[in-house]
Chain A
Amino acid sequence: MATEKKMFLEALRKKFKESPEEKYTKFYIYEGWKQSKRKKEFVEWGTKLAKERGIPFYNPEMHLGGIPLGQRVLMPYRLSQTDIYCEGDDLHFINNAAMQQMWHDIRRTVIVGLDAAHMVLQKRLGKEVTPETVNHYLEVLNHALPGAAVIQEHMVETHPGLVSDSYVKVFTGDDELADEIDKRFLIDINKEFPADQAAQLKAAVGKRIYQVLRMPTIVAMTCDGGTMSRWSAMQISMSMVNAYKLMAGEAAIGEFAFAAKHAEVIEMGTLMPWRRARGPNEPGGVPLGYLVDICQASRVKPEDPTWVALEAISMGAVLYDQFWFGSYMSGGVGFTQYATCTYTDNVLDDFCYYGADYVKKKYGGFGKAKPSWDLIKDIATEVTLYGLEQYERFPALMETHFGGSQRAAVVAAGAGVAVSLATGNSTAGINGWYLSQLLHKEEMGRLGFYGYDQQDQCGSANSFSYRSDEGLPFNLRGVNYPNYALNVGHQSAHTGIVQAAHSGRGDAWTTNPLIKIAFADKDLKFDFTHPRLCFGKGALREFMPAGERSLIIPSR
């Protein structure tokens, strides 16, 4: 790729206003935090609020005994493959409502099969189940799910204005049944997916019918992930009692509850051991393949599998690196600076497209080659060295990714995505990532932060191991997988390695077809088809989230 074609150059020019090839610059002349519009806003608010609360507050003069941030350029960031530029602060999830909503939309989703409940109704209770009764039940549940009463005679309820993002929809692989479901309740596979993907998904789901339940965002914000399946199960069971006129305390009702709470439930995340100590539907329990299926880029631009992988990567960065490692696990606030490297400034995009072009030219397209040592060595080495050479060729790029962990993640992501695209095998893809890390360590003689390459040292041996807690298809691994459980800066890009293996093959889903369909829903607040654009809107403060509280608090 000629210099002019490098995807990251435009952003580099805007970030530094100097030639990206220049090796020398000036420092200490930027007036510290005053160069940043956002930091100035922080200072203004910090000063005002310190007076109001009477306790010292945000004060950049506290930084390094009076040496404030901004001794060099506090650079802006471009959301990759968008025209949006923002400040780094705007990508911290606390400052970005779109990021918060992405997580809330994932956490508040539960999928529950309806067929078992129908069997209980028909076999144990002698009730008739028809499309009409299903529609009626769904109407009842759309009343109940946000927190309203259906069978009690005296009951407190939630204010609809606070929970309007809570609803239930259904989907089925049976076109005839789908036709008879009220369109207000239907996720229409035929409408949401390209024809070939719809065919794959319908074949997988078959005649079964599934409910997709969204609990209110305000519940997701104030309770934990384990709340979700309990909340949905209570409302499902009560709505069944109401819609089918059942006796509330008979033994058969226990079977509804069992189906709704346990047997027919798919949650986005599984619970974790004591040391991670988190229940279901928390980020640490969401496997890579689920997050990839939650991302909907694959249905809107299937002709560009590399873009699809990059969109998924941005969600991985926010969920795994910024939320999970950055806050849940470490208690820190600084991981945003690090995690943005995979979805800003078109750097990873450049590396991934370079790899994709290399694969297309050398291996005749995507998903056409079987994994082999020759292939992994060839592709992973080429993309790794390409990436490292860009940092060395363009000092501004090196300065943009000023932490070694950022460079290590981005370079290895390029390598892993390329191997995945070539082979359609995500475990081969991650093996390519590990080779990349070892090459990087040797080439630069440096890699990431203190604990960065723990999984990368273990990674080669554990790629294809099949021992107790070492082997697992890569799609099913996540941040609770032993080698990955305390290892920031990897899983964002890992998401793309899973996605690329499947988007290269033209797969409608990677790991779980039900999850893929469940998020093909325009009524979700977050736009899962274009996560990077949506994060950018959040950064520009143009994103409107759910979780309204103004109805119940004094006006400002």
Chain B
Amino acid sequence: MVAYKPQYYPGNSKIAKNRKKYLDPSYKLKKLRTISDDDLVKLMGHRVPGEAYKSVHPPLEEMGEPACPIRELVEPTPGAKAGDRIRYIQFTDSVYFTPLTPYMRAWMGHTRYRGVDIGVLSGRVPLEARERDLEKVAKELVETEIFDPARCGIRGATVHGHSLRLDENGMMFDALRRFVFDKKTGEVVYVKDQIGVPLDKPISVGKPIKEEELREMTSEYRVDGVPFREDKEMVEFVQRLHMLRTEAGFDPNKVKGI
């Protein structure tokens, strides 16, 4: 096998480089804050901290598996082994210079985590996994540089806010007001879990990242930041992909060396 260095992402701009960096699992995401395991569990709201994981089927070893060479080959995740339910965490990312865009969440999720199910909409990204696996993934998603407390939201339903203007504290809109800005501490505090059920105690997710820093960290092209049209390599990349797909649909045999 030839030596091959994965490329992950094309493009010749700060944004493209950020995208590439986040997609590359060999890049360790910077930890910016600590959320305790229990608080994270509360934020997600699938179980009470300390409560055992609920099962959707018996542990694999107990139930036995069909004779399948792929099952023999592919190591199940710890959650799958135990028979955990599949649960979710869902994020909303504002259009205003957040570290990740929705598609970035999916691409990055699939380069960094095993056994995850990620969906993308314009204003939210659900990530589902076996519960104990999910908690591990969620920890990194909330504690590191890819999460801004003010412009990213952990929201199960009534997620909207991504495209709305920011409020007077620089916070993304949230119809359920799950999170609030604590003017005393300057921190963002969750008063409801992701689905909107009030928490018994507020959970701080830390201070918002400053806009000038976000502008450096973001993976969003914007005309008031790094305009997409200035990243000619990206524009041409997409144009070529479209041309190749179109030509292939007409006749795949004619697509040679282009």
Give chain A's interface residues, CB within 8 Å of chain B.
22-28, 64-65, 67, 71-72, 373, 377, 381, 385, 388-389, 392-393, 395-396, 398-399, 401-405, 407-408, 431, 434-435, 438-439, 441-450, 452, 460-466, 470
Given contacts A72-B173, A448-B121, contact A392 B238 (CB under 8 A): no
Residues of B within 8 Å of A64, CB to CB, are 158, 175-176, 196
Interface residues in B151-190 (C-beta closer than 8 Å to A): 158, 160, 162-168, 170, 173, 175-177
Q: Which of B228, B246, B250 contacts A466 (CB 8 A)?
A: B250
Cα of A404 to Cα of B101 in the assembled complex, Å: 12
Q: Which of B119, B164, B166, B235 contacts A439 (CB 8 A)?
A: B235
The yes or no answer to B239 lying at the interface (CB within 8 A) is: yes
Residues of A within 8 Å of B173, CB to CB, are 27, 71-72
Cα of A434 to Cα of B241 in the assembled complex, Å: 11
Q: Which of B101, B165, B227 contacts A24 (CB 8 A)?
A: B165
If A381-B239, A399-B164 are given as contacts, then 8 extra A-B residue pairs at C-beta distance below 8 Å, sorted by A number, are A25-B165, A25-B167, A64-B175, A71-B175, A389-B227, A435-B238, A438-B238, A446-B121
Distance in Å: Cβ of B9 to nearest Cβ of chain A: 10
B228–A395 contact, CB under 8 A?
no
Distance in Å: Cβ of B226 to nearest Cβ of chain A: 11
Most buried by A among B163, B196, B219, B223: B163
Residues of B within 8 Å of A407, CB to CB, are 122, 163
Is chain A's interface secondary structure helix, strand, loop, or mixed overall? helix
Cα of A439 to Cα of B243 in the assembled complex, Å: 12
B96–A23 contact, CB under 8 A?
yes
Q: Which of A392, A405, A439, A448 contacts B223 (CB 8 A)?
A: A392
The yes or no answer to B208 lying at the interface (CB within 8 A) is: no
Given contacts A24-B168, A27-B167, A461-B248, contact A445 B227 (CB under 8 A): no
Q: Which of B103, B175, B176 contacts A446 (CB 8 A)?
A: B103
B166–A24 contact, CB under 8 A?
yes
A445–B101 contact, CB under 8 A?
yes
The yes or no answer to B245 lying at the interface (CB within 8 A) is: yes
A460–B224 contact, CB under 8 A?
no
Which residue on chain A has the smallest CB distance to residue B244?
Answer: A460
Residues of A within 8 Å of B164, CB to CB, are 27, 72, 398-399, 402
The yes or no answer to B234 lying at the interface (CB within 8 A) is: yes
The yes or no answer to B199 lying at the interface (CB within 8 A) is: no
Residues of A within 8 Å of B235, CB to CB, are 381, 439
Residues of B within 8 Å of A448, CB to CB, are 121-122
B160–A402 contact, CB under 8 A?
yes
Cα of A71 to Cα of B19 in the assembled complex, Å: 34
B245–A460 contact, CB under 8 A?
yes
A67–B221 contact, CB under 8 A?
no
